[in-house]
Structure 1
Amino acid sequence: MRLTRRGAAVLVAAIVLFGIGQWAGYPLFLATAGAAAGAVIAAVAVTARRPRVAVVRDLYPDRVERGRPAVARLRVRNPGARRQPGFTAGDAVGAGFQSVAVRPLAPGAEAVYHYELPTGGRGRHQVGPLTLDRADALKLGRRRLSTGDTATLWVHPRIYPVNAIAGGHARHHHEGQATEASPRGSLDVREVREYVVGDEVRHLHWKATARTGRLMVRDYADPYQPRFTALLDDRPESLAPPAFEEAVDLAASLAVAAAKADHRCRLVTCGGTDIATRGGTTVVRGLLDELCLLDRADGPGLPLVPAPLLTGGGGTLVVISGRLSEVDHAGLAAVRSRYPEQIVLALGTTKGNFAVPGAKVLSAVDAADAAHRWNAVIAG
């Protein structure tokens, strides 16, 4: 238990008034000092007993898009045999604090409360520990108690509806040598080769067997699926903090659309982040969790094209940036043989003042505008 600033001020005033009353012989000052001291004593008596309740907190949902509503449900129960006076319960959420007033509880009674959680900032936010706060009617004294465990609120980037990009490698390679990256199992024939023990008998190629006099089988491999690489420019000099959040939203929207379409996608940043997925709705949650923790690069002077893109390749390269220099243009030109189709999404710009040689440029003021322009130009 401790006195609030108001309580401390009242106590000091009581002492001063008592001294003046004693020295000057003013009964009114003595009476006022006594009333003030009595109020402080009453506040101490009221707040001396700490809240004795069982509290359970749940988050609904525990993962939410930036700006979408999320609530905490607080279930408070009085397990004792005495009436529990009212108090305030609240959670620290990031740098803020959310609270709710809990009414008095009879013995064995239970009450449920809800309060909204702030979701304006992308990231992984700790909720709690829960703080129980009891104060007297005049707010002179306060008893504060931390209880319960903490929870995690994942604020994901905002997802806009965008078309999944349909470009990628050629889908058929029936003849000739295939790369080791070609996964197996589809109905595209990679080659016809001699049978070895363990091959599927149903894949026997009878015409080739008759022609060569040896058992020959079809070797199948999956064609390269549509894929793209998103390059998010996280350099401080390229995007201011608000614009960077818009860029993350846009990158997340493109990656989620590709994953849901069961396309391979890869998200790379100038600062070294490299997130790859083979597609499928099951990977979306993990992808967005990783994007929750994405931050801007630590220093200026980084090249636009990071090292992983110099050795990788295939499909379409989508660059999300707010400003590109001539050096950045040269970097994109250096990887054009690996990424023949390049699209630049220029955030915070107007159409006509942003040009990149050899690339298609879509200028937009924010992520929502960029998603609209993307859907108007890119076929799903």
Structure 2
Amino acid sequence: MTGRTGMAVTARGIGLLVAAVVLLGVGGRFAYPELTLLGAAAGVAVGYAALVAAWRPRLTVIRTASPDRVGRGEPATMELTVRNTGRLRAVNLLAEDRCDDRWVPVPLLRLRPGRDTAVRYDVPTVRRGVVRVGPLRVTRRDPLGLVASARPYGGSVPIWVHPRIHPLNAVPTGAGRSLDGRTDAVPHGSITFDSLREYVIGDELRRVHWRTSARVGELMVRENVDTSLPRIVVLLDNRAAAHPYGGGPSESFEACCEAAASIITAAHRADLPAILLLVAEDSVPATTGSGTTVGAVRGWAGLRARRRPAEHADAAPDGGASPAGPLDRLAAAELVAGDGDLQATVTRLRRDRLGDTLVFLTGPGGRGDLGHVGALRGAYPSVVVGVVGAADPTPPGAAGLVVIDAADGAAFAAEWDRVRRW
């Protein structure tokens, strides 16, 4: 019954049912009461087994991921607590917890009423992605093994496996600098109106927008941004055509994800706003710092209050399953079949002007599209292109762009720190 839920008759039960039908038929046809009695007994045994397997134990499942967001290769554990909330009898059950594509056995032996048992096991984090853990599958069998029923208990919890982060010493600050020669970080901004968000405890009342608050029926607060604060836009090329591979995971795409995560983390540590965009099928940018959307700003405010580590600073405030920030989006990012519409993305970037430094990360198959990215030099003072996973360097004179060639994420970090002109 691996991977399946519901009630099913085992091979032994099917054999006994066939024997019952044959015995009842032969006993009735030839007037053998002994065979009829054996056939009836076999049928009663299968019926009793179905009743036993149909009984549903009352269990409460609590699972805790520690931590729920990790870097690739970092340890993560899942603690599962199963409590018998029934009042009548102890239970002996076979239980398995789903962890990605494997099943972890959970022993439930003599679980008495009102008692619980806890199991802890390691979650595999060797691959970037979202590891779904749960639900718990409890299998109940009768003593003769004729009927088995499997039912799910509890929900599932995602564990976000972020790309491996390589430390970067240099962070481009574009053209937005303060008059005294340094970069200022203004948490809430002070110059230009950006958006409205719901009031949270601690906000200044002078920032409440009373007209909108009266219209919607709840307090709304103005969010301002400092337009002189440098902004970094990371554009990740997730088109399958840009990352050719032969049947397995694309190493160039994984390396691009590591490069994007490294840039985002370095920008966060330097208190610079950063935006992550995907070329294919991306409608809502993931942001850090002074976000461009109400949801992004509200989420970032909650993160700063929780004081999470910088490399996991985009965790969802409510621990939900939806991507909350750039690192979560990178964990869930996948290659999209087809060439994607890079021209539409470039047009939107030129129109919106989301920042002053654009970093375009692509694979060997994306070199032919560098001309489209080069057209953004008028809208973005600094445009940097990272070609990751290519066997040979990019030919010189690629639309006049700063091009970084690297074999993998670690090599990209090393080449990134060698750049002297942004």
Give the structure-1-normalised TM-score: 0.68
Work out whether 1:260 is the aligned partner of 2:274. no
Retained in 1: the 8 A contact 2:346–2:376?
Answer: no
Retained in 2: the 8 A contact 1:51–1:132?
Answer: no
Q: Which residue of 2 aligns with 1:190?
A: none
Q: Which amino acid aligns with 1:307?
A: T
- Tell me the distance in 2 between the aligned counterparts of 1:341 and 1:93: 44
Work out whether 1:374 is the aligned partner of 2:383. no
Deviation at 1:320, TM superposition (A): 0.9
After superposing the two structures, state which structure 1 stretch, 13-22 or 2-11, moved more: 13-22
Aligned partner (choices 6, 13, 16) of residue 11 of structure 1: 16
| Post-superposition CA distance 1:117-165 (Å, at most 9, x none) | 45566555665444322124664321333344x2431414223122153
- Tell me the distance in 2 between the aligned counterparts of 1:248 and 1:84: 50
Unpaired segments of 5 or more residues in structure 1? 175-182, 186-220
% same residue: 29
Trace 1:284-299 onto structure 2 (pairs within 5 A): 284-285=314-315, 286-287=324-325, 288-297=327-336, 299=338
Q: Which residue of 2 aligns with 1:111?
A: 117
- Tell me the distance in 1 between the aligned counterparts of 2:231 and 2:348: 16
- Tell me the distance in 2 between the aligned counterparts of 1:57 and 1:301: 39
Deviation at 1:330, TM superposition (A): 1.9
Retained in 1: the 8 A contact 2:279–2:340?
Answer: no
Trace 1:1-380 onto structure 2 (pairs within 5 A): 2-12=7-17, 14-15=19-20, 18=23, 40=46, 43-44=49-50, 46-92=52-98, 97-117=103-123, 119=125, 127-136=133-142, 139-148=145-154, 150-163=155-168, 165-168=170-173, 169=175, 171-173=177-179, 184=190, 224-225=228-229, 227-240=231-244, 242-243=250-251, 244-271=253-280, 272-273=282-283, 274-278=285-289, 282=304, 284-285=314-315, 286-287=324-325, 288-297=327-336, 299-300=338-339, 302-303=341-342, 306-311=346-351, 312=353, 315-323=356-364, 328-352=369-393, 356-375=398-417
- Tell me the distance in 1 between the aligned counterparts of 2:278 and 2:116: 50
- Tell me the distance in 2 between the aligned counterparts of 1:43 and 1:68: 46
Structure 2 CA distance for partners of 1:116 and 1:361, relative to 1, 3 Å: same
- Tell me the distance in 2 between the aligned counterparts of 1:80 and 1:170: 64
| Post-superposition CA distance 1:9-58 (Å, at most 9, x none) | 32245347747986999xxx999989977875674465343323343333
Structure 2 CA distance for partners of 1:373 and 1:5, relative to 1, 3 Å: farther
| Post-superposition CA distance 1:279-315 (Å, at most 9, x none) | 6873533423344454445642522652233142754
Root mean square deviation, CA, Å = 4.4
Q: Which residue of 1 aligns with 2:318?
A: none
- Tell me the distance in 2 between the aligned counterparts of 1:299 and 1:256: 30
How many residue pairs get aligned? The number is: 336
Equivalent position SS for 1:104: strand
Retained in 2: the 8 A contact 1:132–1:145?
Answer: yes
Give the structure-2-normalised TM-score: 0.63
Structure 2 CA distance for partners of 1:42 and 1:257, relative to 1, 3 Å: same
Higher alpha-carbon Rg: 1
Equivalent position SS for 2:404: strand
Structure 2 CA distance for partners of 1:223 and 1:310, relative to 1, 3 Å: closer
Retained in 1: the 8 A contact 2:133–2:158?
Answer: yes
Equivalent position SS for 1:163: coil
